[in-house]
Structure 1
Amino acid sequence: MTVLSLQDASLSLSSNAGKVDILHGITLSVSAGESVGLIGPSGSGKSSLLMVMGGLEQATGGKVTALDQDLTRMDEDALARFRRNNMGVVFQSFHLIPTMTAVENIATPLELAGEVDAFDRARAELEAVGLGHRADHYPSQLSGGEQQRVALARAAAPRPRILLADEPTGNLDESTGAAIMDLLFGLRDRHGATLVMVTHAPELAARCDRVVRLRDGRIEDAA
């Protein structure tokens, strides 16, 4: 079953110098339960492609489908609801709410989705990433690796069918990054989610079922 599909998708953005073409005619399908690594040099369009897959950037051409829903036809509110119900997103910068504790950061999207057991599920996800004892700590009281664990738990708590990760180890040292990757793949396996990950690290991409290489906004290889 195809979970994500891009058909001749393109992305152009406006700048002071005029229109900038970021992605050119991307055609790509991702199957249910598959893990895909997006690699390529800086500026190749990896993160932009991930954002288009998640509806965080609207494709300016072509078609983007996720779980049989046409993201290119949705407005911002519809896209936000779709992500809330179906996607977990992990960024290089952790994007935790600084005035909320770890457990509150994880529970918030669950509460917004109307889950009555939001805090119980949030604490269970914290335990799953080894941070049950840090539930009441604020982001400023956590190390970078701990903050990324909280971000992973927040992404996984709604049990999304799709996990998108943009350089999830980019701000971490090698050993901490390796531990985060173990957790990310563990969450993928535990929830049966489809994983698409941007990374500069070939050894991390090699852990994926398939690697897609981009260059200059085009797919160079999708072996």
Structure 2
Amino acid sequence: MSNPILSLKDVTLSLKGNAGMVQILHGISLDVTAGETIGLIGPSGSGKSSLLMVMGGLERATSGSVQAMGRDLTAMNEDALARFRRDNMGVVFQSFHLIPTMTALENVATPLELAGHKDAFDRARDELAAVGLASRADHYPAQMSGGEQQRVALARALAPRPGILLADEPTGNLDGANGAAIMDLLFGLSEQHGATLVMVTHAPDLAARCDRVVRLMDGQMERDAQRAIA
């Protein structure tokens, strides 16, 4: 694999727990090509979400290296990481992380404004319409259901057209119809704009849509094979 857009080499992650340091990830090495879609699967507690956070520089690897678009994330300070994510990554969290004092429209427009887009609010309206929330643009997160908040978070991640999308259970709070529509948007961004998608999921049907599936077990890669779902 030449010039991977994401490259992890011997990555470990240890975090402090109640009983002391706990090793979450054990020697993860993984290369992801530009435009590839990767499904991260495995039982709860296997390290999937932690691996996703390390890929985005939201958790610092304890050892090893993490490179994205040829940049060494492990060498960046927090400000540089924030700028890199703003310009290159879209991250969808399980817990939304919407700004409660901002409307749905403002939540989606904010990263576009920070990136210098003069048409931030027009683009934000288009993204909210794409996720079926045009009529909720002026509502605050507390006025929306969990599923609606998840769709706002997805619109915010998709709006800047990032080169890398990291999604942690992106349909976990959505019903079947809305979940299917959101996944079509995510995969559509990858297909139409060449974005790389790395997605944590427990849903076999979603994993089956990915180019490759990586299975984690106890913080280690158990399998890294094309469409290896079983």
Shorter-normalised TM-score: what interval? over 0.9
Percent of aligned pairs with the same residue? 78
List structure 1 runs of 4+ shifted beyond 3 angstroms. 173-176
Alignment equivalent of 1:92, drawn from 88, 91, 94: 94
Q: Aligned-pair distance for 1:83?
A: 0.5
Q: Aligned-pair distance for 1:130?
A: 2.6
* TM, length-normalised to structure 1: 0.94
Q: Counterparts of 1:95 and 1:12 in 2: how far apart (Å)?
A: 24
* TM, length-normalised to structure 2: 0.92
Specify the code of the residue in structure 2 equivalent to 1:65. Q
Q: CA RMSD in A?
A: 1.4
Q: Aligned-pair distance for 1:184?
A: 2.1
SS at match of 2:5: strand
Specify the code of the residue in structure 2 equivalent to 1:181. M
Q: Counterparts of 2:13 and 2:71 in 1: how far apart (Å)?
A: 19
Specify the code of the residue in structure 2 equivalent to 1:42. S
Q: Which residue of structure 2 lines up, in the alignment, with residue 207 of structure 1?
A: 209
Q: Which moved more, 1:108-117 or 1:86-95?
A: 108-117
Residues 161-213 of structure 1: CA deviation (Å, up to 9, x unaligned)? 00000011222333432332222222333432100000111111111110000
Contact kept in structure 1, 2:40 and 2:216, CA below 8 Å: yes
Q: Counterparts of 2:201 and 2:160 in 1: how far apart (Å)?
A: 24
Structure 1 gap ranges (5+): none
Q: Does 1:119 align with 2:121?
A: yes
Contact kept in structure 2, 1:148 and 1:180, CA below 8 Å: no
Q: Which residue of structure 1 lines up, in the alignment, with residue 181 of structure 2?
A: 179
Q: Counterparts of 1:188 and 1:95 in 2: how far apart (Å)?
A: 23
Q: Which residue of structure 2 lines up, in the alignment, with residue 131 of structure 1?
A: 133
After TM superposition, the structure 1 = structure 2 runs for residues 164-175 of structure 1, keeping only pairs within 5 Å, are 164-175=166-177
Q: Which residue of structure 2 lines up, in the alignment, with residue 110 of structure 1?
A: 112
Count of aligned residue pairs for this structure pair: 223
Specify the code of the residue in structure 2 equivalent to 1:122. A
Q: Counterparts of 1:105 and 1:148 in 2: how far apart (Å)?
A: 12
SS at match of 1:169: coil
Q: Counterparts of 1:136 and 1:219 in 2: how far apart (Å)?
A: 43
Residues 35-84 of structure 1: CA deviation (Å, up to 9, x unaligned)? 00000011111000000000000001111000000001011111111101
Structure 2 gap ranges (5+): 226-230
Q: Counterparts of 1:164 and 1:122 in 2: how far apart (Å)?
A: 20
Specify the code of the residue in structure 2 equivalent to 1:3. I
Q: Aligned-pair distance for 1:137?
A: 1.9
